[in-house]
């Protein structure tokens, strides 16, 4: 369980804000091990989403290195990154990011379709995932008919479809009442136990940190580990 799955080495990211370069990340370094659940906390605008997208290969850092499950993301081209994002990395965007025109089944099926999994196998896998997240019977529902917690669980199932090494979740409990937030956090814990998945949760809610093995604070462009209780 000591294998490093995510390594960030001196990661810098600048954005041009009001025509001036502003360093949002100013030398972020951290390592995360297989099977760990890690929380990243920080004020709005601290760069949490930016950092998570960099870990997902969705944004490129201006400086520094990012290694995910042995792959040096910063050395890969867009095609290789896209493949990695569909296999090794599962991303749960800030608003769940479901495709509103597709059903629950089709949303979860999408990464399998992209990975070239055949139809019968896709059907089996999606049904398994729907059962796993406790949404049996809702296969044909469109996202607009789901509750916030259900949408998050579908987004998590979609991220889990190709059994990634790491799931990166951006504010997965935002806009949920605490009972539903806990359900989402318990689902992450179950995923980690069942599949050994590493899970990184970005959150502005300090209560979420009680569910994580390690806690980091992102502030002033730097990531610091908050010592355990």
Ligand X SMILES: Nc1ncnc2c1ncn2[C@@H]1O[C@H](COP(=O)(O)OP(=O)(O)OP(=O)(O)O)[C@@H](O)[C@H]1O
Q: What is the binding site for Mg ion (CB under 5 A)?
A: 48-49
Q: Which residues contact 10 (CB under 8 A, 6 or more apart)?
A: 27, 28, 29, 63, 64, 65
Of 6, 8, 24, 81, the residue at the interface with ligand X (CB under 6 A) is: 24
Candidate segments 28-36, 37-45, 129-137, 191-199, binder of ligand X by CB under 6 A:
37-45
Give the CA dihedral 97, 158, 119, 85, nearest 10 degrees: 90
Closest contact distance (angstroms) between CB of 173 and ligand X is 13
Closest contact distance (angstroms) between CB of 101 and ligand X is 26
Q: Judged by CB under 6 A, does residue 155 bind ligand X?
A: no
In terms of CB distance, is 50 or 107 closer to ligand X? 50
Q: Judged by CB under 6 A, does residue 96 bind ligand X?
A: no
Q: Judged by CB under 6 A, does residue 15 bind ligand X?
A: yes
Q: Judged by CB under 6 A, does residue 92 bind ligand X?
A: no
Residue 112 interacts with which of Mg ion, ligand X, none, CB < 5 to 8 Å by class: none
Within the chain, residue ranges assigned H as helices are 48-55, 78-85, 104-114, 119-132, 148-160, 178-195
Q: Which residues contact 39 (CB under 8 A, 6 or more apart)?
A: 201, 202, 203, 208, 209, 211, 212, 214, 215, 216
Q: Judged by CB under 6 A, does residue 67 bind ligand X?
A: no
Site string for ligand X, 165-194 (x = CB under 6 A): ------------------------------
Of 1, 18, 20, 45, the residue at the interface with ligand X (CB under 6 A) is: 45
Taking the C-alpha atoms of residue 89 and residue 37, their distance in angstroms, rounded to an integer, is 15
Residue showing tokens 């949404």: 135
Candidate segments 46-54, 79-87, 106-114, 151-159, binder of ligand X by CB under 6 A:
46-54
- Show the CA angle centred on residue 163, arms to residues 75 and 181, nearest 5°: 105
Report in angstroms the alpha-carbon separations of 183 from 160, 180, 203. 16, 5, 15
Of 39, 42, 57, 61, the residue at the interface with ligand X (CB under 6 A) is: 42
The count of residues in the chain is 229
Candidate segments 28-36, 47-55, 82-90, 133-141, binder of ligand X by CB under 6 A:
47-55
Asked whether the beta carbons of 49 and 202 are under 8 A apart, the reply is yes
> Residue count at the site for ligand X (CB under 6 A)?
12
Which residue ranges make up the site for ligand X (CB under 6 A)? Answer: 15, 17, 24, 42, 44-50, 204
């Amino acid at each position: 369980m000591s294998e490093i799955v995510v390594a960030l080495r001196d990661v810098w990211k600048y954005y041009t804000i009001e025509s001036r370069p502003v360093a949002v990340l100013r030398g972020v370094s951290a390592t995360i091990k297989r099977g760990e659940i890690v929380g990243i906390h920080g004020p709005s605008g601290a760069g949490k989403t930016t950092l998570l997208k960099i870990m997902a290969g969705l944004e490129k850092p201006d400086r520094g290195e990012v290694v995910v499950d042995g792959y040096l993301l910063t050395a890969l081209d867009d095609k290789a990154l896209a493949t990695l994002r569909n296999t090794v990395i599962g991303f749960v965007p800030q608003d769940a990011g479901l495709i509103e025109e597709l059903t629950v089944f089709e949303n979860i099926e999408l990464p399998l379709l992209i990975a070239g999994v055949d139809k019968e196998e896709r059907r089996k896998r999606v049904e398994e995932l729907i059962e796993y997240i406790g949404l049996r019977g809702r296969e044909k529902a469109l996202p607009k008919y789901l509750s916030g917690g259900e949408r998050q669980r579908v987004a998590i199932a979609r991220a889990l479809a190709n059994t990634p090494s790491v799931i990166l979740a951006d504010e997965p409990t935002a806009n949920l009442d605490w009972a539903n937030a806990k359900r989402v956090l318990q689902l992450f814990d179950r995923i980690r136990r069942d599949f050994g998945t590493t899970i990184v949760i970005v959150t502005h809610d300090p209560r979420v940190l009680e569910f994580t093995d390690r806690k980091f604070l992102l502030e002033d462009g730097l990531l610091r580990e908050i010592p355990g209780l």
